[in-house]
Amino acid sequence: MQHKVIDTKDVVIRFAGDSGDGMQLTGSLFADMSAIYGNGLATFPDYPAEIRAPHGTVSGVSGFQVHIGSEEVATPGDFCDMLIAMNPAALKANAKWCKRHAMILVDEDAFDDAGMKKAGFTTDNPFTELSVEDRTLIIAPITTMTKESLKDSGMDQKSILKCKNMFTLGIACYIFNRPLQPVYDYLEKKFSKKHPEVIAPNKKVLDDGFNYAANVQAIPNTYTIEPVKSAKKGTYRNVTGNQAIAWGLLAASEKSGLPLFCGSYPITPATAILEELALHKSLGAKTLQAEDEIAGICTAIGAAFAGNLAVTTTSGPGLSLKSEALGLAVMAELPLVVVDVQRGGPSTGLPTKTEQTDLNQALYGRNGECPIPVICAHSPANCFFAAFMAAKIALEHMTPVLLLSEGFLGNGSEPWLIPWMKDYPEIHPPFVSGVLPEGERFKPFERDPETMVPRWALPGQKGFEHRVGGLEKNHAGVLSTDPQNHETMVRERAKKVELISKDLPDLVVRGPQEGELLVLGWGGTYGHIASAIHDLQEEGVPVAYTHFDYINPLPPNTAEIFSHYKKFLVCELNSGQFASYLQGLYPQYTFRKYGKVQGQPFLVSELIEAIKKEM
């Protein structure tokens, strides 16, 4: 067989196996080494809610998709060029994601009668049964080879079997011409302290996988994906959305000079933010793992009152539990960042899957008239800036801010040009200063007439003693049930949020600045919609696109932008919540809805189809 090295622009690889097979690790190692190599990159972990679902079943399949490119990559890719399936169930669950020319690597040893039966195959040829027999099939005895590789390692059988993923990673590294050094470095760093004895065997099995692939005649071609040439100069790293949120909050803490306090309760897929913050006590971050979601937000509200940059992190069901306390933060006019990493709902829903279905809850999910700023992140790396801005708005406008992320962003990763903090804006909370004139009392809800923002006096400041709380008060902070006062306060609190719009960046339109159709998106759908728009524009379709990072209030030029188009299509991972919101604000236009509620991101192909239908 003639072996060819093919230079390709981009490639999508999907690692799939049993939820105990280590596919998340294998995929993220492959991603990290590609990032270090300098490729454009986007990842999409797709895993079940159970830690160890029934072995060998389709429901227990865990997947990790990596898209690498020689240019910047906007999405993890719709379909894959290579599928790595560690067992029959993984093949069954993922065969539909293979491109026509895809390569499929399977562990032959796992395709025994028992494995085939567990995965629900009814014939003895899984490839024909799934209609993928015409793909390039690499059927390798991965289990046997791993055992052979480590037979003299002194490791027990169970530990040896756990190294199958390293053998597989070795094969993938050969096929895509990845240097192995970054994996060695990872192994050294991870195990040098506690389990130095496992470093050498893991390296060996990785090398053996690589060499096996080089020697076996089953692999027709290998691929090179050059580093991104057009990338801006600077220091890069790979970052997940959850990590970036934690770091963005720490950045806001540094810029504001206020210590960070995070009160949270563990919940998928937001937990990693709390875990990440807990690591960074050296930057003064205090994390409190609360007894429940309500205590998470209430401890944060207490910390805000005491003058910290207060944060609580959660996902949909947790946000439901925090609703009442969020209303308290609105009423007490305290700065607070609430992060909601959205997952499939309602109720417990699809904990590990991604959706944008909490928008209505974010906008309206409280009793009384209770508006809060709602902002969102549009990519894993953008989570850093979004979190920073959430904190800046909260601290400067004395309001809780809801930051919407998504499971897709939180767990997904991409390369990030690391910024310098000196280039980030300052944060200036409206602190009181000086002393009050003799006999005068501090009025906690007296507002700046320009911004409607009250001033912030911290417990411990002499002479500014005052009370806040959930009951309606007047500007002086005295309880009041006066009808006119209540309406004044309701309107002022709403106005304060509305006026934040002045501080927001303008919307940017990609494509024709006026015309027939404007496609709208918000949050984590950015990469997919932008790719679809890019492809359509390449085809010559005159479609325009704008993406919202700020939902309440909307960017200042929103109305102006809308006035330049005839039709609007809102693409979102729900049944049309943002479209309905816009419809309420701009009844003169018709906002068409393109929604998907499957717990999965959009496919670029389905977006293209949907947009074409509107043209």
Partner 1 sequence: MANLTFKDFKSDQEVRWCPGCGDHAVLASLQRALPKVSQALNYDKERYVVVSGIGCSSRLPYYMDTYGFHSIHGRATAISTGIKVANPWLTVWQTCGDGDALAIGGNHFIHAIRRNIDINIILFNNQIYGLTKGQYSPTSKFGAITKTSPYGTVEHPFNPGSLVLGAKGTFFARSLDVELKLNEEIMTAAALHDGCSVMEMLTNCVIFNDGAHKNLSDPAVKADHTIVLRHGEKMVFGKDNEKGLIYDGKKLRVIRIGEGGFTIDDVLVHDAHADNIGIHMALADMKGPDYPVALGVIRDVKDITYDDGVRDQVRQVAAKSTIHCVDDLLRSGSTWEVK
Positions in 35-54 near partner 1 (CB under 8 A): 35-36, 38
Residue 461 or residue 605: which is nearer to partner 1 going by CB? Answer: 461
Residue 158 or residue 232: which is nearer to partner 1 going by CB? Answer: 232
Residue 134 or residue 292: which is nearer to partner 1 going by CB? Answer: 292
Among 99, 162, 443, 466, binds partner 1 (CB under 8 A): 466
Q: Is 486 in the site for partner 1 (CB under 8 A)?
A: no
Q: Distance of alpha carbon 579 from its chain centroid, rounded?
A: 22
Binding string, residues 197-236; x marks residues near partner 1 by CB under 8 A: -------------------------------x--xxxxxx
Among 471, 508, 559, 615, binds partner 1 (CB under 8 A): 471
Among 7, 50, 134, 185, binds partner 1 (CB under 8 A): 185
Give the amino acid at 462.
Answer: K
Residue 134 or residue 482: which is nearer to partner 1 going by CB? Answer: 482
Q: Residue 370: CB partners within 8 Å, gap ≥ 6?
A: 326, 327, 330
Residue 35 or residue 80: which is nearer to partner 1 going by CB? Answer: 35
Residue 101 or residue 232: which is nearer to partner 1 going by CB? Answer: 232
Considering only the stretches 256-264, 359-367, 392-400, 540-548, report the one whose residues sit in contact with partner 1 under the rule CB under 8 A. Answer: 256-264
Buried b (16+ CB within 10 A) or exposed e, 297-312: bbbbbbbbbebbbbbb
Q: Report which of 18, 240, 224 is spatially closest to residue 115, judged by C-alpha positions.
A: 18
The strand pairing partners of 543, in sequence order, are 517
Residue 149 or residue 314: which is nearer to partner 1 going by CB? Answer: 314
**Least distance to partner 1, CB of residue 527, Å:** 21
Residue 156's CB: how many other CB atoms inside 10 A?
9
Q: Residue 414: CB partners within 8 Å, gap ≥ 6?
A: 41, 42, 43, 73, 238, 239, 379, 380, 381
Classify residue 500 as left (phi > 0), alpha (psi -120 to 50) or beta: alpha
Q: Report which of 363, 320, 356, 321 is spatially closest to residue 341, judged by C-alpha positions.
A: 356
Long-range contacts of 182-190 (CB under 8 A, 24+ apart): 182/29, 182/32, 182/33, 182/36, 182/37, 183/29, 183/33, 186/29, 186/32
**Least distance to partner 1, CB of residue 187, Å:** 13
Residue 366 or residue 596: which is nearer to partner 1 going by CB? Answer: 366
**Least distance to partner 1, CB of residue 10, Å:** 18
Q: Apex CA 457: angle with CA 455 and CA 463, to 5°?
A: 120
**Least distance to partner 1, CB of residue 505, Å:** 22
Q: Report which of 566, 570, 575 is spatially closest to residue 545, judged by C-alpha positions.
A: 570
Considering only the stretches 34-42, 194-202, 499-507, 599-607, report the one whose residues sit in contact with partner 1 under the rule CB under 8 A. Answer: 34-42
Window 307 to 366, contacts with partner 1 (CB under 8 A): 307-308, 310, 324-325, 328, 332
The strand pairing partners of 406, in sequence order, are 342
Q: Report which of 292, 289, 286, 368 is spatially closest to residue 326, judged by C-alpha positions.
A: 368
**Least distance to partner 1, CB of residue 510, Å:** 25
Round to whole Å and give the CA distance between 524 and 44. Answer: 12
Considering only the stretches 156-164, 292-300, 362-370, 506-514, report the one whose residues sit in contact with partner 1 under the rule CB under 8 A. Answer: 292-300
Considering only the stretches 190-198, 244-252, 560-568, 600-608, report the one whose residues sit in contact with partner 1 under the rule CB under 8 A. Answer: 244-252
The strand pairing partners of 456, in sequence order, are 431
Q: Give me the half-sphere count of Cα atoms (radius 13 Å) on the Cβ side of residue 522.
A: 29
Window 124 to 183, contacts with partner 1 (CB under 8 A): 182
Interstrand relation of 413-417 and 221-224 (parallel, antiparallel or unpaired): unpaired
Q: Provide the 3-class DSSP secondary structure of residue 128.
A: helix
Among 479, 508, 559, 615, binds partner 1 (CB under 8 A): 479
Considering only the stretches 85-93, 94-102, 463-471, 603-611, report the one whose residues sit in contact with partner 1 under the rule CB under 8 A. Answer: 463-471
Q: CB of 262 within 8 A of CB of 312?
A: yes
Round to whole Å and give the CA distance between 405 and 383. Answer: 8
Count of chain residues binding partner 1 (CB under 8 A): 73
Considering only the stretches 49-57, 206-214, 461-469, 579-587, report the one whose residues sit in contact with partner 1 under the rule CB under 8 A. Answer: 461-469
Residue 22 or residue 263: which is nearer to partner 1 going by CB? Answer: 263
Among 203, 237, 534, 567, binds partner 1 (CB under 8 A): 237
Residue 25 or residue 294: which is nearer to partner 1 going by CB? Answer: 294
Residue 255 or residue 592: which is nearer to partner 1 going by CB? Answer: 255
Residue 252 or residue 519: which is nearer to partner 1 going by CB? Answer: 252
Q: Report which of 192, 24, 17 is spatially closest to residue 92, judged by C-alpha positions.
A: 17
Among 52, 96, 467, 613, binds partner 1 (CB under 8 A): 467
Round to whole Å and give the CA distance between 79 and 605. Answer: 10
Considering only the stretches 29-37, 370-378, 431-439, 481-489, report the one whose residues sit in contact with partner 1 under the rule CB under 8 A. Answer: 29-37
Q: CB of 218 within 8 A of CB of 357?
A: no
Residue 181 or residue 598: which is nearer to partner 1 going by CB? Answer: 181
SS (H, E, C) 512-581: CCCEEEEEEEEHHHHHHHHHHHHHHHHCCCCEEEEEECEEECCCCCHHHHHCCEEEEEEEECCCCHHHHH
Q: Residue 509: CB partners within 8 Å, gap ≥ 6?
A: 518, 544, 545, 546, 561
Window 596 to 615, contacts with partner 1 (CB under 8 A): none
Residue 110 or residue 187: which is nearer to partner 1 going by CB? Answer: 187
Window 371 to 430, contacts with partner 1 (CB under 8 A): 417-421
- Which value, in Å, is the radius of gyration of the alpha carbons in the chain? 27
Window 293 to 312, contacts with partner 1 (CB under 8 A): 294-295, 298-308, 310
Among 469, 539, 542, 615, binds partner 1 (CB under 8 A): 469
**Least distance to partner 1, CB of residue 376, Å:** 22
Window 262 to 291, contacts with partner 1 (CB under 8 A): 263, 280-286, 288, 290-291
Q: CB of 517 within 8 A of CB of 569?
A: yes
Cis before 553 (ω within 30): yes
Residue 38 or residue 141: which is nearer to partner 1 going by CB? Answer: 38
